[in-house]
Structure 1
Amino acid sequence: MKLTTDYIEELIVEHFCKEFHLVRIFVKEMDPILVEEFLEKYPNVTLEINVLDTLIEGLFQPIHLENLRLVEEFESRLIINYVLNTKKELKRLLILKTDKQTQLENDIEKLFIGPLEFTRSYFSNETGYLVELDGNINNIRDLLDFEVFSCKDDQVPITINIYNFEKILLNLGEIKQRYAIVANNNVYIESVRLSLLDRKGEVPGKSGLNWGQRPNRDGNQMYLSVPKSIHSSKEEFFPVQTQGFLVCTADQRNLVCVMAQDNRKAIQTKGNTSILGKYFRERLGVKSNAFVVKEDLIRYGKVFIDLYKIKEGLYYLDF
């Protein structure tokens, strides 16, 4: 089965046939938002994700925090483990079972050489195939002999290096031109600057930061406005309409967002559109639900935000 952007659909339609209920997958990297969408769409499926080589690679803190959120939200249907060291052959393994037991005492129902990453970028760019193997547990038992921690384990921050953007973005505070962040592999990271002001140079009264400042609305509701000119000049910078993506902030907050409204003109927090406005009001030092004026932004020191695309589905917000 070819790996494509429709990978999950193909996996469900072609191989579950409503009889397989457990997906056990071993990956080098995962996208929590993709995992969340998977579980929301297929409520009868239990997912176990084993993130490999975490002792060597470490863990990106925003992803780790999202993992903790997800296992709490999907307590009975999601397990996320961190594997310290594994054998090379395990890095492309995917297992399907008919029951929801994660132990593998019984024969495996379906066994595949599978994806190396469970991320949008991997399925967008890679051209590979899932190959079905003999599913007898005895054939892979040696591969499954590894040390593992649940992502909820108290030993995780002690044993595994949990790093933030310092490892991904070098010298962020020293770069005067904030459009030119350099990653640890010296690859230019694309960015956009979004103004919080309208064409008249003021904070809009009933949109943007003040979208919720209308009768019978939550005063914290807001969105970030994305002009057509940015979509025209950077067509692939943002994801498609309604597709979730993770925005990490300089003060270590995670915001799950979507592109919304006509022509993807708005960035909103997924589900509760007040989360974004509450965050910005906290940063600005104004009261919750308050009407935001230009003077609030000037006092804070910025009338715009910079958004950096780290990879597909992951962005860094500098405000």
Structure 2
Amino acid sequence: MYYISELESIALDEPYELGYRTLRILSGYASATFLTHVLNKYRDLEIELIIGMARKDGIKRWDHEQFKRIMAEFQNVKIRYNKTLPGIHTKIYHWTNGRLHNNTKTFIGSANFSWNGFRDQKELLAESHYENIVEVFEVKDAILCTDPNVEDYIKFYNVSVIGREYGDLSIQIRRREEQILRTSHYRLDYVDLPLLIQNDTAIHEIGGLNWGQRADRDPNQAYIPVPARIHQENMAFFPPRKQEFTMLTDDGEHMVCVIAQDNNKAIETPGNNSILGIYFRNRLGVTLGARVDVQDVVNYGRTTVRVYKLDSETYFMDYGVGTNGT
């Protein structure tokens, strides 16, 4: 039988609930935010992920850095890149558990291991059973993402914003930092999120950038407030609540974020809510752990952050002084 909707429920939730705990994935493309989501949702899952088109099309630098962090944090995860041509465009999800009577379950189809594949695009997966399915995972020329020589085989690319005007972004795609592949001009959706309240005369006392400023909390904890009107005016701008996305920044940082809290009022960094607070304190010149005051934000010269939507799981936060978001 084939499936064209609720792919996560069918190909991931149901096998896990049946007791399967080992998942081998061969996918042309994959995103670190979707892998982070899966690992947060299924805490005792063992995963082997092979990204088949890595050599041909490269890997996003921010995904690569997150893949390495995941490998360091989760001993039960192995991430490899196919390092030869032609690329492998296959999408296969193969579950095993030797303790179960029917100890394998396999899905094949068009869905990459990403939010695009499982949520945002029309894709197909079919449940199949072949005794020799394990042979497709014998990708001899795959290299661990943590291998010190990985950059000899795989091209990594960054997005660099080189110009902004009234919502337009001029973007350079660079591989290995020094090689400019192309420069593009995009008209992107964006929202401006206020860091202050009451017409920039006050700041949240135990919320926003000061979320951790209370007893028994890490004082660096913070979130970016998202006013209700933002969701009302553009309901499809942000992903659904608690679904991970990558936030790039104008100063070259990147972090995994989610929409969270009642009424979806916050952008947080799941797992460690201090990441955003440390980022903004460093940017504002505020001592780590200290309260952020109104004057800190005003003196910086920017009381809002502008968030652009690059795609359904990648956003760009502009907090540069003197840009059109001031």
**TM-score bin, normalised by smaller chain:** 0.7 to 0.9
Give the drift of 1:243.
2.5
Counterparts of 2:265 and 2:312 in 1: how far apart (Å)?
Answer: 19
Paired residues of 2:36 and 2:244 also in contact (CA < 8 A): no
Residue type of the alignment partner of 1:47: I
Q: Displacement, 1:236?
A: 0.9
Question: Which position in structure 2 is the counterpart of 1:104?
Answer: none
Look up the equivalent residue of 2:130 and give its one-letter code: G
Once the two structures are superposed, residues 233-284 of structure 1 have per-residue CA deviations (whole angstroms, 9 ceiling, x without a partner) of: 1101112223332222233333222222221111122133222111100111
2:59 is matched with 59
Distance 1:267 1:211 in 2: 12
Asked if 2 retains the 8 angstrom alpha-carbon contact of 1:203 and 1:209, the reply is: no
The residue aligned with 1:103 is: none
How many residues are treated as equivalent by the alignment? Answer: 303
SS at match of 1:117: coil
Q: Which residue does 2:209 correspond to in 1?
A: 209
1:175 pairs with 2:196 = no
1:80 aligns with 2:75: no
| CA contact 2:120–2:312 (8 Å) conserved in 1 | no
Aligned with residue 159 of structure 2, among 165, 178, 183: 165
SS state at 1:235 partner: coil
**How far does residue 84 in structure 1 lie from its aligned partner after superposition?**
2.3
**What per-residue deviation string (whole Å, max 9, x for no partner) do you get for residues 144-197 of structure 1?**
45521101111112322211113xxxxx232233x2225667653321111212
The aligned residue for residue 122 of structure 2 is 127
Residues 29 and 116 of structure 1 are in contact (CA less than 8 Å); yes or no, is this contact kept in structure 2?
no
Quick one: structure 1 residues 43 and 266, their matched pair in 2 at CA, closer, same or farther if it must change by over 3 Å?
closer
**Runs of 4+ more than 6 Å apart:** none
| Alpha-carbon distance between aligned partners in 1 of 2:64 and 2:268, rounded to the nearest angstrom | 22
Distance 1:68 1:161 in 2: 15
For normalisation by structure 2, the TM-score amounts to 0.81
Q: Cα offset for 1:125?
A: 3.3
For 1:175, the aligned partner's letter is R
- Distance change (3 Å), C-alpha of 1:2 and 1:185: farther
Distance change (3 Å), C-alpha of 1:217 and 1:128 = closer
Q: Name the residue aligned to 1:97.
A: 96
Structure with greater strand share of residues = 2
Q: Which amino acid aligns with 2:157?
A: Y
The question of whether the paired residues in 2 share the 8 Å contact of 1:23 and 1:97 is answered with yes
Secondary structure at 1:118's aligned position in 2? Answer: coil
User: Partner of 2:197 in structure 1?
Assistant: 198
AA partner of residue 174 (structure 1): G
Query: Residue 274 of structure 1 corresponds to which residue in structure 2?
Result: 274
What SS does the corresponding residue of 2:268 show, helix, strand or coil?
strand
Matched letter for residue 2 of structure 1: Y
User: 2: distance between equivalents of 1:152 and 1:99?
Assistant: 29
Change over 3 Å in CA distance of 1:141–1:241 after alignment to 2: closer
Structure 2 residues not aligned, in runs of 5+: 172-182, 320-326
Cα contact 1:257–1:270 (8 A) shared by 2: yes
Alpha-carbon shift at residue 224 of structure 1 (Å): 1.1
CA RMSD of aligned residues (A): 2.8
Equivalent positions of 1:227-306 (< 5 A) are: 227-306=227-306
Equivalent in the alignment of 2:150: 156
Report the Cα offset of residue 51 of structure 1.
Answer: 1.0
Contact (CA 8 Å) 1:86, 1:143: kept in 2 or not? no
Aligned-pair distance for 1:40?
Answer: 3.3
Secondary structure, in 3 states, of the residue corresponding to 1:181? Answer: strand
Report how far residue 59 of structure 1 moved: 1.3
**For residue 232 of structure 1, what is the amino acid of its counterpart?**
Q
Shift of 1:17: 6.2
Residue aligned with 2:18, SS: coil
Identical residues among aligned pairs (%): 29
2:131 equivalent to 1:136 = yes
User: What do residues 183-234 of structure 1 show as CA deviations (whole Å, max 9, x unaligned)?
Assistant: 6676533211112121231241403222333444433222211112211111
Q: Flag structure 1 segments of 5+ consecutive residues without an equivalent.
A: 101-107, 167-171
Question: SS state of the match for residue 162, structure 2?
Answer: helix
Partner of 1:2: 3
Q: Which amino acid aligns with 1:262?
A: D
TM-score in terms of structure 1 length: 0.83
DSSP 3-state at the match of 1:30? coil
- Label 1:269 to 1:146 Cα distance change in 2 as closer, same or farther (>3 A): same
- Secondary structure in 1 matching 2:289: coil
